Amino acid sequence: MSEVRHNWTKQEIVAIYNKPFMELLYEAATVHRRHHDPNTVQVSTLLSIKTGGCPEDCGYCPQAARYHTHVEGNDLMEVSQVKAQALRAKEAGSSRVCMGAAWRNVKDGPEFDQVLEMVRTINKLDMEVCCTLGMITENQAHRLAEAGLYAYNHNLDTSEDYYKDVISTRAFKDRLDTIENVRKSNVTVCSGGIIGMGEALEDRAGMLVALSTLDPQPESVPINALVAVEGTPMADLPPIPIWDMVRMVATTRIIMPETQVRLSAGRTQMSREGQAMCFFAGANSIFAGDKLLTTPNPDVNEDMAMFKLLGLNPQKPFTKVSQPKTVEAENSKYQPLGEKPRWSRPGHTIERNEAAKQNAKLTD
C-alpha cells in the first residue's frame, strides 16, 4: 500500500519539524531508503534563457525590473546557444536542463515557439527538459508536453498566508491554477519554495501542507534558502542556519516520500558537512553549474569532488518517468489559441517592496 498521504495538517507538520534532531534525521533517512537509492542524486543544470526585466515584484528576486540590482538583462537565447549549453551540462554529468525565463506568464507567439524548439532540441539529446516560464494555460502546457517537456517548475514560494507579504502582482491561487494546468498534460510537476524570507515556522509548514495535499504530490520539490541580493527588498535578511535547512528537507522527505527533494539556491552558504546532512535527511537532487539563474552556485568540479567524497552517483535521465516523445511543430495537435487569461493582480502594498523600488529611483 502506498505510504503517500494527502491530508497532512499544519500541526502535524510543525510537530515533525520540531522533533529532536536525531530522531527527525533517522525517521527521514528511513523513509528515504524505502523509496529511493540513498546513494543516487539527480543533477540538474539551470539555464537562464531570458534574464531580467520581469514585471513582477517578488521580494526575493533580483530579476524584477523595479529593483536596483546588478543583474544584466538578456533577450531570449537562441536555440543553438541553448543546445551548446545543454551538451556541456550533459558532459559534466547533468541529466536535466531547467530553462528559466523571467516572464510573468507565457504568451503565444514567436518567443514561445522558440522555447518549444529548445524543448524539442534538448529532449532529442536524451536529457530531461524542465521549464520555468511563469504562469501558463492548459493549452500551453499541452504544447510543451508535445514538444517533449519532462517537468514544469512553478514554485509556491511560501504559505498562502505569507505570500501577500512577498508578492503583490499575483495571488497564491494563480500558482495553484498553473500547477493544475500542468497536471492536465503529462508533464511532471516541480514545485517548492524558499525559506529565510522572514516567514514563521507555521508558514514553512503551511507551504508543505499546500504541496503535500496536491494529489498527486509534485514529482519534485525544490527547497531553496534565500540568497539575499543587494537591491532587493530582502537584501538585509540574515542567512538561515543550516539546522533549519536540514529540518525542512527532512520534514519534506517524510511527508512526500516519493518526491525528488531538491537542494536548490543557497548551497554556496552551506558546508559539505551541511549538504551531507541534507542528503542523509532525504535530499536527492542538486542544481549544478556556477550560477543559479542569476545567483552564485558551487562549481561543477566542486560538486563532483563532493559526490566522490560521499560515494554519491548522479542519477541517469528518465529513471523515474519514461522519456516523452517529441512531436514536431508541423505535426502538432495543439495550435496557439492566443488566449489572454485573467491572471490576478491583487496590487496591495508591501512596504519593503515599495521601499526597495524607491531606493532604485534614488540611486539611478
Please report, in range form, the residues annotated as the binding site for [2Fe-2S] cluster. 98, 130, 190, 262
Which triple of cell numbers denotes residue 245? 535547512
Nearest CB to ligand SF4, comparing residues 102 and 182: 102
Q: Is 131 a catalytic residue?
A: no
CA distance 156 to 168: 14
Nearest CB to ligand SF4, comparing residues 25 and 54: 54
Q: Is 278 a catalytic residue?
A: no
Query: 262 and 220 in contact (C-beta within 8 Å)?
Result: yes
Nearest CB to ligand SF4, comparing residues 118 and 356: 356
CB of 170 to ligand SF4, least distance (A): 8
Residues that bind ligand SF4 (CB under 6 A): 54, 56, 58, 61, 63-64, 102, 134
Q: Is 34 a catalytic residue?
A: no
Q: Is 130 a catalytic residue?
A: yes
Nearest CB to ligand SF4, comparing residues 220 and 326: 220
CA distance 70 to 210: 33
Query: 237 and 198 in contact (C-beta within 8 Å)?
Result: yes
Please state the residue numbers annotated as binding site for [4Fe-4S] cluster.
54, 58, 61
CA distance 227 to 296: 9
CB of 54 to ligand SF4, least distance (A): 3
Q: Is 262 a catalytic residue?
A: yes
Candidates 120, 131, 175, 190; catalytic one: 190
Bridge partners (DSSP) listed for residue 220: 190, 260
Which triple of cell numbers denotes residue 200? 514563521
- Secondary structure of 161-220 in the HEC alphabet? HHHCCCCCCCCHHHHHHHHHHHHCCCCEEECCEEECCCCCHHHHHHHHHHHHCCCCCCCE
CB of 53 to ligand SF4, least distance (A): 9
Candidates 96, 98, 131, 278; catalytic one: 98
As annotated, the active-site residues are 54, 58, 61, 98, 130, 190, 262
